Amino acid sequence: MTNESDKLREAMTKAREIGLEVEKGGAVILNENLLYKKLARDLEKMGVIYSEIHEAAREYPDLFDKYAFKTLKGDVNKIDSGIFLYIPKGLTVKEPIFNCFVLGNKKVVQKVYNLVVLEDGSRAIGVSGCFTLVNEAVHSSLEETYVGTGASYTRIMIHNWLPSVGVSAISSVEVGEKGNYQDLYINYSEAKSISFNTMIYQKGSDSTSRADQIVSGTGFSSLKYSTEVFLIGDRSSSQLISRLLARGKSSIATKARIVASGKLTKGHIECKGLTLGDGAEISTVPELRSLSNDAELTHEASIGKIKREELEYLESKGFNEEEAVSLLIRGFLETGFSDLPSTIRASVESVLDKLSKAKG
Amino acid sequence: MSQASLSVSGITVEVDGTIVVKKANLDVRSGEIAILMGPNGSGKTSLLRAIMGFPSYKIIAGNIYLDSLDVTNLPSWERAKAGIAIANQAPPALSLKTKWLFQKIAEKYGTQEELGKVVNEIMLQHLLERPAFNGFSGGEVKRAEIATVMLSKPKVALLDEPDSGVDVESTKKIANMIDAMAKKGVAILLVTHAGMLVRNLKMLGRGYVMINGRISQGSNARDLLKSVLEEGYRNFRGSDIQ
Ligand SMILES: Nc1ncnc2c1ncn2[C@@H]1O[C@H](COP(=O)(O)OP(=O)(O)O)[C@@H](O)[C@H]1O
Ligand SMILES: [Mg+2]
């Protein structure tokens, strides 16, 4: 057991390093088990549920049956652990809730299922940090998110895995009328492989979503992302934005797809890739599909290298090559994701600073 | 060694296999504003960029001194740190927010406290959140470049047409800033075509003319400007060229 509590302490320290203040409200799932959980008392009183997923299935069977495994296939009995977060009607939770998923032993295969429900008119911010204390382990996760009528959910996810870790994740999001879903994903790990699929179903009219993806590949990583948005409700809109930075011999492949079937929908895909070094590879496939005659769908994509003129310009202002490169990378990584509370903004920026300085 | 802050001694500059500056000599003292005039394509920008140390402007002969330091073989960032700064005629669009560019330069040269003042004085507030030089108007580009020079507190400032495309009010402001730099002892080499900026300057010194990559000295800056504005460069085509 002491071993486990040592690992938990190590995990909390590592979480803090990437700005996840679990002690202020959050949970740590280490290997197969939830080992730490904290939620402010007053939030519990106001009806927020924050519990381990099996516990949630037992204690809130009605809610669980209503929401769990509706858009994704799965069986809670085959899951190791996970988080159920439930925000009741009309409640705004200002403080972010930090969830950490940690691989602490070799050969561990961590199977996670998370369920996030925002009832009508509620607001919350969830921050997930996924990282490893050891090499040679696997993280596999399913996540379902429901954003009710007029509700708003911001999810920030930071991946920070070690080189011989494999990750597979599927996330499905449903957004109701006038609902808003914001997603910021950052990968700065050296994971051997990541495969991450996200589906956003905007069933409600006037719903909005924005998903920003900042992916850095180093070493021999092979990273695959697919993001699909279904604009089903009338006047629903979405933006998918990505910055892909491939160093070393890494390869990054992304697909972004918007399917518009509602009336007067709007969708935009913006993808920019930057390769550093000769062995790195990026491929990106944007797809727009309109099933309605009044959808407004656009995409822009570009892949390039650091431009010599930009580098020379910064050098002439006194920055050596290394400094100039990291400044330009930092600029490149900026997506303009603005909906961040100041507490998280600082940690996101420090992660991006580290990312731009790291070598691959 | 020369008394000048900037001393260019017989430099020849090659770009892409072509000689664009030939055996140029030029001195700028601390606190002096020297102007460099010349027709389009005569090599003024090439000379300035070679002094700054841009790698594509190869110095194949001659030397550049900053005070008594020979900077000829230093990379541009070391020249910058030693005290040379350039306001480029046409800086590239950067994938970097203007605010960050300014902040990082200010951090580098310890001028964080002046940042707000410089930004206000040159009216750049509205550009801070935009990527630097992306879709800036002609005048905005010039003002932002001047700001980078002010923030790097140089000993020598190379200003490449800081007034082209700039409106009357801003030109006066830029003139005041250039004068203020000169008063603090900065040696300024100013490339310009028009009279308005120069007429607003008080700290004028020498005037140089460049034609076909060669420099000739034309008395003082004010006389040079008058002669060029009245008669163009035909007086400089003959024997004046070294
Ligand atoms: N990067 C370059 N590649 C090729 N030729 C160049 C380059 N830069 C300048 N030149 C040439 O050098 C000459 C001088 O140009 P420039 O120094 O820009 O003149 P000015 O600033 O006096 O107008 C011109 O003929 C120009 O075309
Ligand atoms: Mg020029």
**Distance between CA A317 and CA A233 in Å, rounded?**
51
How many angstroms away from the CA of A306 is the closest CA of chain B?
A: 9
Evaluate: CB of B164 within 6 angstroms of ligand 1: no
Task: Calculate how far, in angstroms, residue B6's C-alpha sits from the geometric centre of ligand 2.
Answer: 20
What six digits make up the tokens of A246?
């491939």
Interacting residues of B183 by C-beta distance below 8 A, sequence separation 6+: B31, B203
- Using an 8 Å CB-CB cutoff, list chain A residues near B109: 318
pLDDT at A2 over 70: no
Task: Calculate how far, in angstroms, residue B213's C-alpha sits from the geometric centre of ligand 1.
Answer: 10
Query: CA dist B170 to B77, B122, B129, Å?
Result: 29, 7, 21
pLDDT in tens, A117-148: 999 999 999 999 998 888 888 999 999 999 99
Buried b (16+ CB within 10 A) or exposed e, A248-272: bbbbbbbbbbbbbbbebbbbbbbbb
pLDDT in tens, B93-139: 999 999 999 999 999 999 999 999 999 988 889 999 999 999 999 88
Mean pLDDT of chain A: 93
pLDDT at A162 over 90: no
Sign of the dihedral defined by the CA atoms of residues B87, B90, B91, B94, in that order: positive
What six digits make up the tokens of B58?
């190869």
pLDDT in tens, A279-308: 999 999 999 999 999 999 999 999 999 999
CB A144 within 8 A of CB A70: yes
Pairing of strands B204-211, B33-37: parallel
Q: Which of A307, A315, A331 sits opposite B131 (nearest CB)?
A: A331
Q: Look at residue B12 and give its three-state secondary structure.
A: strand
Task: Calculate how far, in angstroms, residue B57's C-alpha sits from the geometric centre of ligand 1.
Answer: 10
Contact yes or no for B96 and A330 at CB 8 A: yes
Sign of the dihedral defined by the CA atoms of residues B213, B219, B225, B227, in that order: negative
Instruction: Provide the 8-state DSSP code for A308.
Output: H
Q: What is the pLDDT of residue A208?
A: 98
Question: Chain B contact for A75, CB < 8 A?
Answer: no
**Distance between CA A289 and CA A274 in Å, rounded?**
26
pLDDT at B241 over 80: no
**Distance between CA A276 and CA A265 in Å, rounded?**
37
Contact yes or no for A309 and B109 at CB 8 A: no
Evaluate: CB of B15 within 6 angstroms of ligand 1: yes
Taking alpha carbons only, the member of B25, B19, B28, B29 closest to residue B62 is B25
**Distance between CA A159 and CA A277 in Å, rounded?**
23
What six digits make up the tokens of B56?
């594509």
pLDDT tier for residue B218 given thresholds of 50, 70 and 90: low
The model's pTM:
0.90
Sign of the dihedral defined by the CA atoms of residues B106, B5, B70, B8, in that order: positive
Q: Is A78 exposed, middle or buried (0-12, 13-18, 19+ CB in 10 A)?
A: exposed
Evaluate: CB of B17 within 6 angstroms of ligand 1: no
pLDDT in tens, A35-59: 999 998 899 999 999 999 999 999 9
* Average pLDDT of the segment spanning A225-238: 98
Instruction: Report residue B4 CA to chain centroid gap.
Output: 16
Taking alpha carbons only, the member of B217, B210, B165, B178 closest to residue B85 is B178
What six digits make up the tokens of A44?
């519990």
Pairing of strands A281-290, B84-87: unpaired
What six digits make up the tokens of B226?
């008058």
CB B155 within 8 A of CB B4: no
* Average pLDDT of the segment spanning A190-217: 96
CA torsion angle for A272, A277, A278, A284 (degrees, to 10)? -20
pLDDT at B240 over 50: no
Question: Chain B contact for A328, CB < 8 A?
Answer: yes
Taking alpha carbons only, the member of A96, A87, A98 closest to residue A47 is A87
Q: Look at residue A82 and give its three-state secondary structure.
A: coil
Q: Which residue of A has its CA nearest to B80?
A: A318
**Distance between CA B115 and CA B129 in Å, rounded?**
15
What six digits make up the tokens of B216?
């000739």
* Nearest atom (ligand 1) to Cα of B48: 17
Query: CA dist A42 to A39, A93, A169, B7, Å?
Result: 9, 11, 32, 72
- Main-chain phi, psi angles of A243, to 5 degrees: -125, 120
Q: What is the pLDDT of residue B223?
A: 87
List A301's β-bridge partners, or say none.
Answer: A271
Contact yes or no for B85 and A317 at CB 8 A: yes
Count Cβ atoms below 10 Å from residue B179 Cβ, excluding itself.
Answer: 17
Q: Look at residue A200 and give its three-state secondary structure.
A: strand
pLDDT at A251 over 80: yes
Q: What is the pLDDT of residue A336?
A: 85
Contact yes or no for B94 and A313 at CB 8 A: yes
What six digits make up the tokens of A107?
């050969």
Query: CA dist B68 to A107, A209, A253, Å?
Result: 65, 61, 54
- Cβ-based contacts under 8 A for chains A and B: 65
Q: Which residue of A has its CA nearest to B97?
A: A331
Query: CA dist A228 to A141, A215, A225, A252, A256, Å?
Result: 18, 17, 10, 17, 6
The residue whose C-alpha atom lies closest to atom 16 belonging to ligand 1 is: B43
Mean pLDDT of chain B: 91
Interacting residues of A331 by C-beta distance below 8 A, sequence separation 6+: B94, B95, B96, B97, B100, B131
What single string gives the DSSP state of each residue in B190-233? EE-S-HHHHHT-SSEEEEEEEETTEEEEEEEHHHHHHHHHHHTT
Task: Calculate how far, in angstroms, residue A318's C-alpha sits from the geometric centre of ligand 2.
Answer: 22
Evaluate: CB of B214 within 6 angstroms of ligand 1: no
Taking alpha carbons only, the member of B62, B67, B72 closest to residue B1 is B67
pLDDT in tens, A107-120: 889 999 999 999 99
User: Which range, of B19-23, B116-120, B146-150, averages the lowest pLDDT?
Assistant: B116-120
- Residue indicated by tokens 């940090």: A129
